[in-house]
Amino acid sequence: MIRFDCDYVEGAHPAILERMTETNMEQTAGYGEDAYCESARQKIRAACGAPDAAVHFLVGGTQANLTVIAAALRPHQGVLCAATGHINVHETGAVEAAGHKVLGLPHTDGRITAAQVAAYVESHYADSAFEHIAQPGMVYISHPTEFGTLYSLKELEALSAVCRERGLPLFLDGARLGYGLAAGDVTLGDLARLCDVFYIGGTKCGALFGEAVVITDPALQKDFRYHIKQRGGMLAKGRLLGIQFDALFTDDRYRRVTAGAVEQALRVREAFARRGVEMYIDSPTNQQFPILTRAQRAWLERDFALSHWQTLDGGRDVMRVCTSWATREENLQKLLAAIAAMPEG
Amino acid sequence: MIRFDCDYVEGAHPAILERMTETNMEQTAGYGEDAYCESARQKIRAACGAPDAAVHFLVGGTQANLTVIAAALRPHQGVLCAATGHINVHETGAVEAAGHKVLGLPHTDGRITAAQVAAYVESHYADSAFEHIAQPGMVYISHPTEFGTLYSLKELEALSAVCRERGLPLFLDGARLGYGLAAGDVTLGDLARLCDVFYIGGTKCGALFGEAVVITDPALQKDFRYHIKQRGGMLAKGRLLGIQFDALFTDDRYRRVTAGAVEQALRVREAFARRGVEMYIDSPTNQQFPILTRAQRAWLERDFALSHWQTLDGGRDVMRVCTSWATREENLQKLLAAIAAMPEG
Amino acid sequence: MIRFDCDYVEGAHPAILERMTETNMEQTAGYGEDAYCESARQKIRAACGAPDAAVHFLVGGTQANLTVIAAALRPHQGVLCAATGHINVHETGAVEAAGHKVLGLPHTDGRITAAQVAAYVESHYADSAFEHIAQPGMVYISHPTEFGTLYSLKELEALSAVCRERGLPLFLDGARLGYGLAAGDVTLGDLARLCDVFYIGGTKCGALFGEAVVITDPALQKDFRYHIKQRGGMLAKGRLLGIQFDALFTDDRYRRVTAGAVEQALRVREAFARRGVEMYIDSPTNQQFPILTRAQRAWLERDFALSHWQTLDGGRDVMRVCTSWATREENLQKLLAAIAAMPEG
Amino acid sequence: MIRFDCDYVEGAHPAILERMTETNMEQTAGYGEDAYCESARQKIRAACGAPDAAVHFLVGGTQANLTVIAAALRPHQGVLCAATGHINVHETGAVEAAGHKVLGLPHTDGRITAAQVAAYVESHYADSAFEHIAQPGMVYISHPTEFGTLYSLKELEALSAVCRERGLPLFLDGARLGYGLAAGDVTLGDLARLCDVFYIGGTKCGALFGEAVVITDPALQKDFRYHIKQRGGMLAKGRLLGIQFDALFTDDRYRRVTAGAVEQALRVREAFARRGVEMYIDSPTNQQFPILTRAQRAWLERDFALSHWQTLDGGRDVMRVCTSWATREENLQKLLAAIAAMPEG
C-alpha cells in the first residue's frame, strides 16, 4: 500500500535527521534558548524581511493555533474564520477550551473575504444588544486552506487592510505554507507585512514536527513565552526545533522540497483530467480532490491509501490525494499509471 | 563548559536516533495509531504488569500534567499536591488555565503524606461553608520529587489507600521516573497497582522527548484521546513517540541508562561528602543539592554549569548537580576531581 | 410610550413584593438554606411530581445556562442546540468561556428534532477523526424557544428518548416556561420526567428575578451548589429567591399570571390577522412576530415600544410584540386599537 | 434565637423596599440602561469625586470579583492577594475557573503591604525561569478585610504607588466598604484616586443585594459590559440595582446606616473587654472576634447565633460577632447583657 492520503506519513527530510544525529551529544540550554534556535530565528527573520519579528517554535499546529489565539484575545472576544477552518472543525474545541467562541463564516473553497469580515464587524456593532454577543476579536485564515486553495496577494492585502482598520489581529495558519509559497503569488515577506502573526509549517513540509510562529505585532510579542509554557508547548530540548528550522531555511530547502510536491500534485491533477474526472475543488497545491465513482475509488484503493473527504449525492466520493516533500517519483509514476488505467466514470 | 545543570541538555540515546533514521521513510498512519506506538504500548503494559492499562504518548511533562488533570477533574475540583509540586510552581499556571485550583500542602523534601491528604479532605467536609471552597478532587505527586527524593513503597501504598477511600484519583508525575525506579523500592508494577494514572518520563531519561501516560482507571481511560487533541498534544507523526518508547523498553534500556546516572550521582554525593559539604536534601537519585560557599561555587562554575537552586541565610548557595543517561564518564571524572580540589568550606 | 418590546420591563407581581416587605426584617440563614427556599423547593417538587428532584434558585438565565452546562460536561464535550439558541447567540460566549463548544444545528422556528440529534451523534462517531472533533455531550433546548414556539409533548418525548439512548443529558431552558405551560400540551410533570435538568423562569414570569433549576439526574445533582458558588450565582440573601418562588407556586399563581399574558398575545395576533399582517413565525405564546411595512411600524412606534427582530428583503421589518404577566388590559386595548387603525400593508 | 453571625440575615433598608414598591409597575429598559441606574451612577461618581469613572452594578461579591479579575488579566497572569483573601478561600476557585492563579501572600490580620508586592514582583523577574511561573498581573485587597481590619490611607497610598510603578491594576473588594468608610481614614474619593477598580458593597450594607463596581482605569472600562454579560451578571431588570444604590446614595444613607453598625460593634467589643475577653483580631469595624471558653460560647449560643471562626489550641474558640445596618438596639442590649452575665473565662 502506497500512501497518498496525507502529507505527514513519513519522517523528516534526511538533511534534518543528519543534523540531529551530528549534534546529538552536544550540550545546550533548554527551552529554545540555544544557538540552533537563534540561528533558525535569524534565518526566518531574514527570509521574511522582518528583522523585528519574534519567532517561536512550537511542536504542532493545534498547539500553535490555541496558543496564539488565547494570547491574542480578551475573554469576551471570539475569532472569525471560515466555517471550515481547522480551528472550527478539527481541533476538538481547543479554542473554546481556552474560553473563546469560534465565529464561523460562510466560505468559498475554504476562503473568506475582506468584505465578509467588514460586514460581520459592522453588523456586530449595529446590533443594539451587541454586548450580549461575543465580540469579533481577531481573524484566522489558513493558507493553503483545508481545501488546498490559496489567497491571492490582492485578497490578502484586502483582508489585512480591513483587519487593521477594525483593530483585529490577522492570524494566518501556515501548516502547509510551503506548498502555498510554491504555488501562489504570496511571499513570506508579504505575510510578515500583512499579518500580525502567522506560522511556517514544518510538520507537513519536511520536518519531523514543528511550526515556526512569526509575530510582527509588538503587543502580541510581549510575554509570548509565558503563553507557550502555560499551554504545554515549550519543548525542553528546544534545539530539536531550532535544528530542524535551521536546516529547512538553509540552502533554500523549505522552498525546494515543497515546490517539488506541488509539481507532482499538478501531474496528478492532469492525470485525472485526462480521464475526465472532475475535481471537487480547484486546488493549485499539494492536495487534490478528485470526484470518483465507487468503481474508480475501489480500483485506486487496491494499491494506494487515499483520504475519503465526503460522499456526494448520487454516491460519488470526493477523495483527497496528497503529495508531499517525501513523495517518491517511482510511487507517483505508479499512481499516474493507475489513474490512467482506472475504469470509466 | 561541561553541563551538569540539568538532565535534558543532550539529544537522545543513540539507539533511538538509529531507529528513527532506519524508519524515516516508512509510511505510517498518524496520531499514534501506527505499529510502533502499538508495540511500545504493549511493552509498557507488560513492564507494568497491567494488560488493561491505556497508554498514551505525549510530548512533554507540562502537557501531560495539564491534560491528565483537566481530564480527571470536574470544574469545582482542585488538585492536592506538595506546595513545591511542579504543577504549582513551574508551569505558568497551566492547571489554573484549565480551570482548576492547585491546593498546595506543606511538604517534606517535596513529599506529602497519606495523613495530610486524609486530614485535608476531612477538614474540607467539616467546614460548614465547604461548598464555598474548591473541592479536593485528585492528588498529584512527583516521583522522584522536584528535590530528587522518593516515596517508599510503604508511603505510596498509604497514599493510594487514602485516595481510594476518599475517591480521589492518584496521579504520579514520573518526569524523572527512570532515576526513581533505579534508586528506590517502587516498581512499575507497583505504580500500575497503586496509581490511577502516572507517566513514564522519556525526555529526561534517554528520549528526545516524550512522556508515556499510563492510565489504569477505566473512568479516566474513556475519551482520553479527545483531551490530548484538545490540549494540543496529539503529535501528527505519533510514531516518533512510539519508536522512542519502543527503543527504551527494548533490552531493558530504560532501566539501564537511568541506573548508570544514579550510580554517577551517588559518586558526586560522596565526593562532596569527602569535602565536608552538606547536602540541602538527602536525594538518592540523579539530582544532588550541595550547599556551597561562594568560593566553592565560583571554583566549580569555572568549568561546569550547575543550577542555582536557592541562597541560604549566611550567603551559601544551594546548587543542583544533575547526572543523566548521557553523562560521560570522562566528564564525571573531571567534576569529581574539581570537587576534590575545591576550596575549603 | 407603552412598552411591548419585551417581558421584563416591570418589577414583580404585587404578591411577591408584599411577601418581601412582610418578611424583610426577619433573620434567616443565607445562601438558600432558609425556610422560604425550602418551602419553595417543596412546592416545585410537588408541582413537578418529582419528590427526588434537586431544586436550586439562580438569579438569571445566562447564569443558569452556564452553570448547568459547565457542571454537566467534561472538557472535550460540546452542547448541541438550535443555531438560534440563546446560549449560541445572546450570551457573549458564556458557554465557551466555560470551555465548551456550542454545536449549533439548523432549526425550524427555533426548534430541533430528535432525528437531528440522532443523526449528529451517529455522524460524529462515524468520522474516522472523531477524536479531533468536539464530542456531543448534552442537548440544550428552549421552551418556549427564542421565537415563542413550543415543543409538543410528542416531540419532547422523542428528543428525550434519543438523548437517553445516546447518554446525552437533556437540558431545557425555561426562561419563559410559564407562557409555554399555558399554551402547549407539555406539563411540569412531563418536563421532570423527560428532561435531566430544566428551569422554571421567574424573571419573565412574575418575579423580580430568579430561575428555579430542577435537576432530576442524580449524577448532575451531586455537588451542584459548588458550581453555583463558583460561577457567582449563590445569592447571599437566598431567601429573596425562595420567597418569590414560594409566592409564584402558591394559589396557582405561576400558571394564572402567564396564562393571562398568552390570552392577550393571541388577541394581538388576531388583531394583526384582521389587518392582513403576516406573522414571521406562528407563535402560540406571549411573543408575536408581525411583519410590518415601514409605515405600519412607524405608526405603531409613535406610542408603543416594540422590538426590532430582523429586516426582510424588500424592506419590511419583523417586529417582536410581547405581552407579559404585567400587561395591563387598558394598554392592550390601546395597542389593539392602534393595530386596527394602522396603514394598509 | 437572635442572629449576630453575619451581616446579611435581614432584607433591605426599608427605604429601599419602599422605592421598589413605588416604582414596581413602571416600565423601563433592561440591563442597567434605565434612568434609575443612571441616577445612581451619577450619585456614586459624585460621591467618589470621579466624574469619568465607569460604574456598573452587579448582584454579588463573587460575581464582581471574578468578572473584574477575568476582565483585567491576560491568560498567563495571576492575582496577588492575602492568602486569606476571599477570592483565595471562599469562592470555590472562581478565579481559577476563569483561568488564573491566585497568588496568596502571607498576611497581617488580612492585610498585605506595598513592600510585599514590590518584593514579589522583583523576585518574579529575578528568577531565570520566570516564564515558567504565573506572572503577577494585578493586586486584590479587601477593605475591610475578611478579619474586619482596615488599610490606613497611608498604607493604601503606598500600595497604589507600587502597583502603578509595576503596572499592576489595584482592585479593592469593598463588600463591607460602608463599615470601612465609617471606621477608617480612607474615603470614597481616596479609593477612586488610588485604585484602578473597586466596589461599593450593597448586600451587606443595606441593600437586598448588589455591588457597585467603580472603574477608574480607562483600559479596564473598555468593553466591561461584555464581561458582565458573559459571566452571567447582567441583571435583566437592572433597575433593581439602580433603585437600591440610588436610595443608598440619597440623604447620606450609605454612611449613616453603616456608621450605626460600627458604633454598635464597638460597644460589643467594650462589653467583652469588660469581661476580660481577648479579641483574636483588633477590628475597628462591624465584625468582632472574641476568644471564648467553651462555657462562654455555650452561654451566648443559647440565645444568639454567632459564627465559629476557628478553634485555638487549648480549646478556646474564636467566634465572629457581626452587627449590621439592621441590628436593632433592643437585640444589641440583650447581647450586651448576656456578655455581662456570662461565665468567667
CA–CA distance, A339 with A235 (Å, rounded to integer):
43
- What is the pLDDT averaged over residues B50-63? 98
* Domain D14-248: CATH class, spelled out: alpha beta
Residues in contact with C343: Cβ distance below 8 Å, sequence separation at least 6, in sequence order: C293, C295, C296, C299
Q: Quick one: angle between helices A294-301 and A329-341, nearest 10?
A: 150
Report the C-alpha gap between B78 and B76 in whole angstroms. 7
Give, in order, the Cα–Cα distances in Å from D330 to each of C315, D319, D334: 68, 22, 6
Strand partners, C57: C212
Contact B233 A232 (CB under 8 A): yes
Q: Which CATH number fits domain C2-7+256-341: 3.40.640.10, 3.30.2010.10, 1.10.1060.10, 3.90.1150.10?
A: 3.90.1150.10
Q: Which of D101, D226, D229, D235 to mutate to test the interface with A (most CBs of A within 10 A)?
A: D226
For C62, name the nearest residue in chain A, comparing CA atoms only: A132
pLDDT digits (tens, 9 = 90+) for C203-222: 999 999 999 999 999 999 99
Distance CA(A275)–CA(C126), nearest Å, equals 31
Average pLDDT over chain A, rounded to whole? 97
Give the count of Cβ contacts less than 8 A between chain A and C. 60
pLDDT at D345: 81
Angle, CA C53 vertex, CA C51 and CA C57 arms, to 5°: 120
Query: Which grid cell is B109?
Result: 523534601
Mean pLDDT of chain C: 97
pLDDT for residue D25 is more than 90: yes
**What's the ipTM?**
0.97
Specify the amino acid at residue C247.
A
pLDDT at C192 over 90: yes
User: How much is the pLDDT for C210?
Assistant: 98
Confidence band of D209 (pLDDT split at 50, 70, 90)? very high
Establish how many alpha carbons lie within 13 A of residue D176's alpha carbon, considering only the half-sphere containing its beta carbon. Answer: 29
Instruction: Work out the pLDDT band at B115, boundaries 50, 70, 90.
Output: very high
Tell me the CATH number of domain D257-341, given options 3.90.1150.10, 1.10.287.990, 1.10.10.10, 3.40.50.1110: 3.90.1150.10
Closest-CA residue to A279 (of A107, A271, A181): A271
Residue A345 has pLDDT above 90, yes or no: no
| Spatial separation of the C-alpha atoms in residues B17 and B244, rounded to whole Å | 8
Cα separation, D233 vs D230, whole angstroms: 8
Taking a contact as any Cβ pair under 8 Å apart, which residues of chain B between 144 and 183 contact chain A?
none
Report DSSP state, residue A132: G
Strands (E), D161-215: 170-173, 197-201, 211-215
Residue with cell 416545585: C44
The mean pLDDT of A218-237, rounded to a whole number, is 98
pLDDT of B158 strictly over 90: yes
Take residue B63 and report the three cell numbers written for it: 502537557
Measured between beta carbons, the chain C residues lying within 8 angstroms of A75 are 97
- pLDDT tens digits for range A176-195: 999 999 999 999 999 999 99
Cα C78–C81–C84 angle (5° rounding)? 125
The verdict on B74 touching D (C-beta cutoff 8 Å) is no
Pairing type for strands D304-305 and D2-3 reads parallel
**φ, ψ for residue D94, nearest 5 deg:** -65, -40
Using a 10 angstrom Cβ sphere, with 0-12 exposed, 13-18 middle and 19 or more buried, the burial of residue C275 is middle
Position of cell 472603574?
Answer: D215
- Overall residue count recorded for chain A in this entry: 345
Residue of chain B minimizing CA distance to D76? B92
Residue B232: all three cell numbers together: 494540543
Across the interface, do A230 and D75 touch by the CB < 8 Å criterion?
yes
CATH code of the domain made up of B2-7+253-341? 3.90.1150.10
| Best of C96, C133, C308, C320 to mutate (most A CBs within 10 Å, chain A) | C96
CA-wise closest residue to D136 among D124, D151, D146: D124
Strand B291-292 and strand B287-288: the pairing is unpaired
Q: Is C175 helix (H, G, I), strand (E, B) or coil?
A: coil
3-state DSSP assignment of residue B133: coil
Q: Report how far residue A292's alpha carbon sits from residue A121's, in angstroms, rounded to the nearest whole number.
A: 40
Q: How far B124 CA sits from the closest chain C CA (Å)?
A: 13
CATH 3.90.1150.10 spans which residues of chain B? 2-7+253-341
Poorest-confidence range of A98-107, C132-141, D94-103, D309-318?
Answer: D309-318
Whether the upstream peptide bond of residue A144 has omega within 30° of 0, thus cis, is yes
D25 touches chain C (CB under 8 A): yes
CB contact under 8 A, C231 and D27: no
Euclidean distance between the first and the last CA atom of chain B, given in angstroms as a whole number: 23
Q: What is the tens place of the pLDDT at every residue in B207-228?
A: 999 999 999 999 999 999 999 9
For residue C345, what pLDDT band results from cuts at 50, 70 and 90? Answer: confident
Whether the Cβ atoms of residue B170 and residue B137 lie closer than 8 Å to each other: no
Is the pLDDT at B154 greater than 90, yes or no?
Answer: yes
Residue B345 has pLDDT above 90, yes or no: no
Closest residue in D to A77 (Cα) is D226
The tens digit of pLDDT for each residue in B243-272 reads 999 999 999 999 999 999 999 999 999 999
Secondary structure letter of residue A317 according to DSSP? E
Q: CB of D132 within 8 Å of any CB in chain B?
A: yes
* Beta-carbon separation of A9 and B29 below 8 A: yes
Q: What are phi and psi of B40, to 5 degrees?
A: -65, -40
Cβ <8 Å between A96 and C100: yes
With 90 as the cut, is the pLDDT of residue A231 above it?
Answer: yes
**Which pLDDT band, with edges at 50, 70 and 90, does A36 fall under?**
very high
String of DSSP letters for D275-337: TTPPBSS---SSEE-BEE-HHHHHHHHTTEE-EEEEE-TTS-EEEEEE--TT--HHHHHHHHH
Of the pLDDT bands very low, low, confident and very high (cuts 50, 70, 90), residue B124 is very high
Residues A202, A177: contact at Cβ < 8 Å? no
> Are residues D93 and B102, on separate chains, in Cβ contact within 8 Å?
no
Nearest CA in chain A to D131: A226
Whether residue A67 contacts residue A227, with contact meaning beta carbons closer than 8 Å, is answered with yes
Task: Provide CATH 3.40.640.10 ranges for chain C.
Answer: 14-248
Helix (H) or strand (E) holding C298: helix C294-301
- Judge contact between A285 and A264, C-beta under 8 A: no
The residue type at A182: A
B150, B285 Cβ separation under 8 angstroms: yes
Supply angle C-alpha B39, B40, B42, rounded to 5. 65
Instruction: Tell me, rounded to whole angstroms, the distance of Cα D90 from its chain centroid.
Output: 13
pLDDT at B34 over 90: yes
Which residue among C90, C99, C100 places its CB closest to the CB of A129? C90
Q: Where in chain A is the domain with CATH 3.90.1150.10?
A: 257-341
Q: All 3 cell numbers of residue A174?
A: 501556515
Please choose, from the candidates B285, B287, B343, B293, the residue with its C-alpha nearest in 3D space to the C-alpha of residue B317.
Answer: B293
Q: Do B71 and C75 touch (CB under 8 A)?
A: yes
Q: What percent of chain C has pLDDT over 90?
A: 99
Pairing state between β C2-3 and C304-305: parallel
**Inter-chain contact D9–C24, Cβ cutoff 8 Å?**
no
Q: Determine the Cα–Cα distance for residues C85 and A42; give it in Å rounded to an integer.
A: 49
Distance, CA of B100 to chain centre: 21
All CATH 3.90.1150.10 domain ranges of chain C, comma separated, are: 2-7+256-341
- Between A and B, how many residue pairs show a Cβ–Cβ distance under 8 A? 138
| Cell, residue D220 | 479596564
Residue found by looking up cell 437592572 in the block: D238
